[in-house]
Structure 1
């Protein structure tokens, strides 16, 4: 039989995995087939599976439209990846991606998060139900908002998150929604209109709509706004590589993003962990998700340090260009950032272990456990059954983590207050 040339393919077929065209499928030797479920898993023609960390749980469908390559990904139950390349990312139950996707290392797609065709992601976090249209580049971003499959945050087709600038700087991650409110699955959705873009780092609040065709270059953390992008276009100006004309907003947005990643990590350690106490596969899926948060945290610290180390040159360029018109406040901000970055890095790592206000954490976890005992371990169902008071307690707990991180870091940056 044709499939005997690959003993791993043969073994998968024998355990019950559906592989309609086995001679076209490649399974690398490092893949542990014990981490591939036999329950309703289908691997279509041309698919390639690599990596010792690869996990495929029940109900997964790979390559229904075009071949899929996965490498060291963890796929929860009922995941459908219709075509494309997926590496070093974690997909929680019922997430799905259309044809032509490129999902690079460090992505975390939570329950029912999804994208249509030709979507590019890297170190992207999508909360439950968040939906991406087609032909989208959405790297270095966290997006929340919405309550269910019919009421969710969405990104229109042909959208881009600009995460790299002419100063060769990638300290540009954007926060669309947030963690403390977003995890409660009770916030109004956010809509980013198609044929548009967002210049990072940015913060966008709930119930924000960015109109189609707009390249948005600001922040709207308060939300509840229709952004039409009608700001006066600045005149052309001389460009000086390495010169930052403003740093305060950029630095503060980076701090807020990292603080939210720390809060989300605590959410996983304290709340999500409750729902992955069953099989070894469930535990590995959970561990994969936490691993992605650690990877994102480390990447954000790395990029933040790189930005800080550019400030010394930026100060000299600024003085040279502006002469006696140089604003001393900007020079002080850059110098504080540059001189204190090692202390800031150490403090971020210390904040990583902060689990927030203990009383609120314990009270909220009791609410979670009470509902869990009544309804079972369906994560979405448990969160949706929290009462308003419990949600407020949980949000307050997570905000205490964000606030602690923010205040700790800003202690080293007094001119930013």
Structure 2
């Protein structure tokens, strides 16, 4: 190390030099074997709380359902909140790992088990090295990120009446890409998402007499096709947006024309204006297709759950990116631009509090090398991504994932 390295980077390297890596890997494997769906993370929360308590944190469980907090007060100084989400997904695992999920149809397909492991490791390292820093640490194990409900539920349940209000909030997420990189964006890093339901009302009848019916299935098919023009023909090329029809439900038998059809849509947008224009277009197109088909009533278009845009405070993110570069090496931190993925992380952040959120790439080297393609983007599109039944982060990311949290915290805390 040279004298030019910051005090936070030196302290982070010292505190993580002797991490109990085998123990943390075992902890990760245990969490991966026992995934729990959103709002049901009882075992995961208890395991995290046990580790926080053992490390000396004042621990509270059951916030917003299954949320966990740990607080470590260590003299005067800033308050830093580190967050990890805990829930798994209704995805049948296809990794073939020796520690694959033991719960049928449920899998940690988004890396939240790794997030909890990183948080537990950072908690232990920072507690053991408390003589090197001063301030207050708040650690949060958040439920129900995948449904967009967990962060808001914790806040509504009095999170900041139970723990100190932070001066800075930090979070990170496992992502596809060759293990060993830490993408940062000093601004918009993730998009907003909005769920929409459309119910088409037709007139049911016998499959042999379609002339006596108004078939909502045919109308739904036209609607799916026409909805693809919202982004391609109504959103400017300079504005990013995605519209996905994720589910269609209609009918009960081969020879019955149903009365209704139901479509579930998901929007990804990077500005409120684009979101509003897309919702207006969806309403207009749904109404038009139903008029064209002769539907007896207007379609029902319902706007459902939404996630906000994740917009890093630029100055805070640059500080965290700089210390990550010092700790993890030149060239490991880069700006990929905003992603179309979404998070409920901003719901956890009190108004006016700056935050930094970044990614940790986690694809195993052998998987990356075997992926088809010759350039970075071809391989990136070929390797298993978050929510894939083959998503399996490399355990070599355990140590650097702890170091990113520890160094980020120390960059804000007062280093002695």
TM-score in terms of structure 1 length:
0.20
Pick 1 or 2: higher relative contact order, CA cutoff 8 A, min separation 6. 2
Which structure has more strand as a fraction of its residues? Answer: 2
TM-score in terms of structure 2 length:
0.20
